[in-house]
Amino acid sequence: MELKSYQQRTLRDLEDYIDVLNNSKSLSTAYANYWMNKGLDLNAGVTDALRPYVNTVPRSPRVTLKVPTAGGKTFIACNALSTIMERQKTDMVNKVVCWFVPSDIILKQTLKKLQDTNHPYRQRIDALFGHRVNVIDKTAALAGQGLHLHEVRDNLTILVLSAASFIENIKVKKNASDEQSKPLAYRENGNFLEYRDKVNATRIDGVAPTALIQVLACLHPVVIVDESHNFKADLRVEMLRNLSPRFILELTATPRDNSNVISFVDAMELKVANMVKLPVIVENRHSTGDVIASAIHLRNSLERHAQIMEQAGGRYIRPIVLFQSQPRNDDDSVTFEKIKAQLIELKIPEEQVKIKTANIDELQGIDLMSRDCEVRYIITVNALKEGWDCPFAYILASLANRTSQVDVEQVLGRILRLPYTENHAEKLLNLSYVFTNSSEFQDTVTRIIQSLERCGYSRKDYREVTADEIIRKQQPEEAPDLFSTMNEAKDMNEPGGSESNDNQQKEDEENDGSLHLTPDEAEAIKQSVNAASDDDSETNQFEQESLRQSDDFDKKTEKQEQETSHDPLASIGGDNLYSVINDDYSNVAFEMNIPMFIKYVKKPIGIFNQKSSDDDNDPMLLDKSMLNEGFNLELQDANIKFDFSNPEDTTIDLKKSGKDDYVPVRKNNSEILNDIRKYFVDLSPIGRKRQLLQKLVKEVESVRGLDSISHSALNAYVEKVISPFDGDQIMFLWDHLYQAKNNIVDKINNLLVGYRQNLFKSQIAKGIIDIEPQYTFLNKVTFAKQELVGVDKGLYAREEKVNGFEERMIHAVADLDSVFFWHRNPERQDGFCINGFINHYPDFIVRMKSGKTVLIETKGDFLDNDDSTRKRELGKEWERLCGRDYRYFMVFESKKVDGALTPSELLDVLKDL
């Protein structure tokens, strides 16, 4: 199983957050900086989807990935384990995961999948952790299985737990003096005697040091919370605190108000990735019999389409109908059995009908995806909580009577998954369908939309699929308009008025479980069950309308994808996240095409072009990685001055640190360090150096931007760096591992930039690198920061706020008569970049009335360093190649710097430009 592109992006978001976290001392600051790096100021109030960090588990980062139902949350979580353990800066050598699921039923399924070495989830985890994996439940954990010190150091141990069964009644029992009255996880446990003297800083008052909860807290597990919207009770939050986790990752389609979301997946991304059956086609019918007949007719037709598709080389699909019953209570098995019996009376073969509820499971042991399976109809109530799933489920048919509220929230998500996660040649098999029977259909539509939102989707994504045309074309004389008013719907009730309706409602309540079919309806259904013909004009008409709606949906999806492909905040949503271009400047701005660097790359020699010439060179937008060609790290200078003047591995009293403090490295804060040192000291001098080498290389490799350097080259270089060091120096580097890593990374980056700069100059001289018009302004840009007010001539309706010297400078520039407009250039995907040996995003783009374009980079005097020198040299080279219509200026606040201007000098140039 391979990661979809949106899943890869989600994991990159997690990496980005951890990178920011590693350099933060505060959880709230880390979260704010993470979103600021993506262009969003959490204090700007531009979206209701995000707010400042909510700290519910002190000193433990707790973040959420928002992924719609059917988006593969569990597979993302499997991959995230490696991301967290490889990337989070910590000295803990153990690898323990507490994986929480919302119910005991889901626990059994998740445990089975993660323990099955043939399942894609387990295969992925095995690949990431070298097949050294233990997956256990609470019973095994209480027995000590997989949790001994040598096991958690050498293997990954995953505890699959149900929050409800794990915490039990903590509030009432945990402080009881009688051990037997405490929850099992809080009782003294002889299987963990080796931990008795290791529980210290994380000790929970009133709990034995050998209790499972104490052991887990000592190990600081990574916590995964699946379907985290169910994980909100105070007891469960207290349990999280007791675990002292190093990291908490939550996955849900519907984050809570206090969720710290770091990644949003949009429904459009799932559609593009062929994960879901969209759009959802909704139709309201006049009676329960109508619903049953429509569902059976459509299911039969879909199966015929599937068989034809398979004969043409497609995949096997057997469409399934979910009949949603609404019994009096969860234990009301009579209702389900009665519905099943009545369906069988309608000539549906008994082997095709099954019941799946929390208390009745006729699907146990049945593989619904198997060709040998006969199941085509499933009677259910609340499929999501009942814990099962099947991509063959295409149709949801509500059997509620006309006056009942239709509650499809939990079941709707079960018909959204697309079989085999691939687009099928028969378009009808890429959609999902809902049939309801309601006198208040507008209310039903609202509930369906709410259900979609609870699955992580939105009304925006589905507004086109629940349109009037389906009903009008289906039953122009009988059916109500899809969005008919309440009064119109009432006018179309069965004859007999309100008294008749009241009588019918009473009858329904007295005979709950009956389908209330008329003899004519029953006979019509019997005839349709085994019909081999597709000569059903009503179903054909419904299918044609569904296809029309699908085509319209696909066009809008494609358009949305094109419009938001450049936008890192598109998945968050909200019009307030955007700023549109001012009409006064739009004509000029849209004609602008700002030059960027391109590189001529030779076309590959093929069968028909055996000779190479200058005409065979393709211009490509230059990426700085193209300048790595020929770079050999092993031959570079390996003298590094290790600087530990600002040590981060200091002793910190966790009990006295603030709630918002984040201590990524707990050196000297627990007995775990003693085990690490003991293991390290016991090695021979050669063994110590080898261990340090492996650890440093692993840490350096995790840094994004160095992936162009091979493992062997990196290993050889780091070995060259530490080879002169004696035993004491090696131990010192080990104690300051992360600062040592940072020093090595800085050295390699400086070597790379220097090499790229020299090659850049050489290839410009040779004509291999040139300049071409490339960058154009967008009609609207993401705007998620505070607005800069009081400055005229901004290109967009709202320009991002700047502070201090930058603000004073742009005020003065905008006041010049020679300036037509200006724009605050964002340092992110939709901003303009001088793409040379480094990526340089100038602070401002200014358009002069003369037609000239000016780039301005402002610098405080304290920023006169190597970085500003490189930017200045790159900017001037860009100006030289662009010609007289373009200018680049770097301006320092007051300092005189060669090649740069002071504010007064810049204004003097611009006023006459």
pLDDT in tens, 259-303: 999 999 988 888 889 999 988 888 888 778 888 888 999 999 999
Query: Is pLDDT of 541 > 50?
Result: yes
Predicted confidence at residue 755, as pLDDT, reads: 96
Please name the amino acid found at residue 241.
R
Query: pLDDT confidence of 828, banded at 50, 70, 90?
Result: confident
Q: What is the predicted pLDDT for the residue at 498? A: 43
pLDDT for 213-260, tens place per residue? 999 998 999 999 988 766 666 557 888 888 999 999 999 988 888 899
Q: CB within 8 A of 88, min separation 6: which ones? A: 18, 21, 22, 246, 247, 664
User: Tokens 């490889």 — which residue?
Assistant: 86
Cβ atoms within 10 A of the Cβ of 618, count?
11
What whole-number distance in Å separates Cα of residue 884 and Cα of residue 903? 22
Dig out the tokens for 45 from the structure: 């109030």
Is residue 95 helix, strand or coil? strand
pLDDT at position 481 is: 34
Three-state SS for 106? helix
Name which of 170, 142, 297, 324 is nearest 234 in CA terms. 170
**661 token code pair:** 């403090």
pLDDT tier for residue 789 given thresholds of 50, 70 and 90: confident
- pLDDT score, position 480: 35
Amino acid at 474: Q
Tokens 């609207």 belong to residue: 780
Question: What is the pLDDT at residue 466?
Answer: 41
Contact 671, 198 (CB under 8 A): yes
pLDDT at 647 over 80: no
Residue 360 in this model has a pLDDT that exceeds 90: no
Determine the pLDDT at residue 508.
47
Q: Residue 506: pLDDT band by 50, 70, 90 thresholds?
A: very low
Under 8 Å between Cβ of 126 and 114: no
Q: How far apart are CA 452 and CA 279, in angstroms?
A: 11
Secondary structure element (H or E) that encloses residue 394, with its range: strand 393-398
- The string of pLDDT tens digits covering residues 696-715 is 998 898 887 787 899 999 99
As a whole number of angstroms, the distance between CA 83 and CA 370 comes to: 35
Token representation of residue 288: 């329960």
Residue partners of 885: CB distance under 8 A and separation at least 6: 851, 852, 853
| 325 confidence band (pLDDT: 50, 70, 90) | confident
Tell me, what's the pLDDT at 530? Answer: 63
**Whose CA is closest to 385, among 468, 469, 324, 294?**
324
With H, G, I as helix, E, B as strand and everything else as coil, classify residue 763: helix
Coil/strand/helix, residue 780 = strand
Long-range Cβ contact pairs of 547-550 (< 8 A, separation 24 or more): 547/427, 547/428, 548/469, 549/279, 549/281, 549/464, 549/465, 549/467, 549/469, 549/470, 550/279, 550/427, 550/430, 550/431, 550/465
The pair of structure tokens assigned to 810 is 């742009």
Look at strands 377-380 and 320-324 and give their pairing: parallel
* Residues forming CATH 3.40.50.300 domain(s) in the chain: 269-559
Number of C-beta neighbours around residue 259 at 10 A: 23
DSSP string, 21-87: HHT-SBHHHHHHHHHHHTTB-TTS---TT--S---SSTTS-EEEEE--TTS-HHHHHHHHHHHHHHH
Q: Which residues contact 677 (CB under 8 A, 6 or more apart)?
A: none
Cα–Cα dist 369/388, whole Å: 13
Query: What pLDDT score was predicted for residue 274?
Result: 92
Lookup result for tokens 């309806």: 521
Can you give the pLDDT at residue 513? 56
> Cis link prior to 619 (omega < 30° from 0)?
no
Mean pLDDT of 850-873: 95
Q: Angle 685-701/727-735 helices, nearest 10 degrees? A: 30
- pLDDT above 50 for 668: no
3-state secondary structure of 901: strand
CA separation, residue 877 to residues 422, 585, 887 (Å):
48, 28, 10
State the amino acid at position 881 in one-letter form.
L
Q: So what's the pLDDT on residue 818?
A: 97
d(Cα 329, Cα 702) in Å, to the nearest integer? 53
Write down the pLDDT at residue 834.
97
Contact (CB, 8 A) for 394 and 322: no
Roughly how many angstroms between the first and final C-alpha of the chain, as a whole number? 59
Residue 710 CB contacts under 8 Å (≥ 6 apart), including other chains: none
Lowest mean pLDDT of 154-168, 404-418, 552-566, name the range.
404-418
Half-sphere exposure of 96 (CA within 13 A, CB side): 30
Average pLDDT of the segment spanning 850-854: 97
- pLDDT for the residue numbered 766: 95
| pLDDT higher at 692 or 574 | 692
Contact 6, 265 (CB under 8 A): yes
What is the predicted pLDDT for the residue at 327? 62
Q: Residue 120: is the preceding peptide bond cis (ω within 30°)?
A: no
| The pLDDT of residue 568 | 61
Tens of pLDDT, residue by residue over 43-58, are: 877 777 888 999 999 8
**How far, in Å, CA of 183 to CA of 169, rounded?**
7
Per-residue pLDDT, 616: 64
**Long-range contacts of 726-731, Cβ-Cβ distance < 8 Å, separation of 24 or more:** 727/685, 727/688, 730/685, 730/688, 730/689, 730/692, 731/680, 731/681, 731/688
Nearest in space to 901 (alpha carbons), one of 792, 802, 822, 812: 812
Distance CA 698, CA 714 (A): 10
- Which range, of 313-322, 565-574, 598-607, averages the lowest pLDDT? 565-574
Residues of the chain with CATH 3.40.1350: 579-592+776-911
More confident site: 894 or 452? 894
Closest CA to 728 of 685, 759, 761: 685
The token pair that represents 875 in the structure block: 């900017």
Q: Which residue has the higher pLDDT, 767 or 699?
A: 767
- Residue (of 126, 143, 136) closest to 97 by Cα position: 136
Is residue 511 over pLDDT 50?
A: no
Q: Is the pLDDT of residue 381 over 50?
A: yes
Which residue from 487, 486, 452 is spatially nearest to 466, judged by alpha carbons?
452
Instruction: List the one residue out of 140, 135, 81 whose CA is nearest residue 113.
Output: 135
- Give kind and range of the element (H or E) at residue 761: helix 737-765
| Average pLDDT of the residues of the chain | 82
Q: What pLDDT shows up at residue 299?
A: 93
Encode pLDDT of 463-477 as tens digits: 334 434 444 444 444
**Cβ-based neighbours of 519, under 8 Å, separated by 6 or more:** none
Top-ranked range on mean pLDDT: pick from 150-154, 667-671, 754-758, 776-780: 754-758
The pTM assigned to this predicted structure is: 0.79
Residue with tokens 């800066």: 89
pLDDT cut 90: percent of the chain above it: 46
pLDDT for res 652: 39
The amino acid that residue 421 corresponds to is: T
594-602 and 769-775 beta bridge pairing: antiparallel
Whether the CB-CB separation of 71 and 131 falls below 8 Å is answered with no
Report the pLDDT averaged over residues 612-632.
83
Residue 874 tokens, joined: 């790159």
Most trustworthy range by pLDDT among 85-94, 532-541, 566-575:
85-94
The residues facing 796 across adjacent strands are 581
CATH class of 269-559: alpha beta
Q: How many residues does the chain have?
A: 913
Q: What contacts 213, CB < 8 A, 6 or more positions away?
A: 185, 186, 204, 207, 239, 242, 243
Pairing assessment for the beta strands 156-162 and 95-101 based on DSSP bridges = parallel
Domain 579-592+776-911 - what CATH class?
A: alpha beta
* Neighbouring-strand partners of residue 158: 97, 135
Angle, CA of 713, 92 and 219, to the nearest 5°: 150
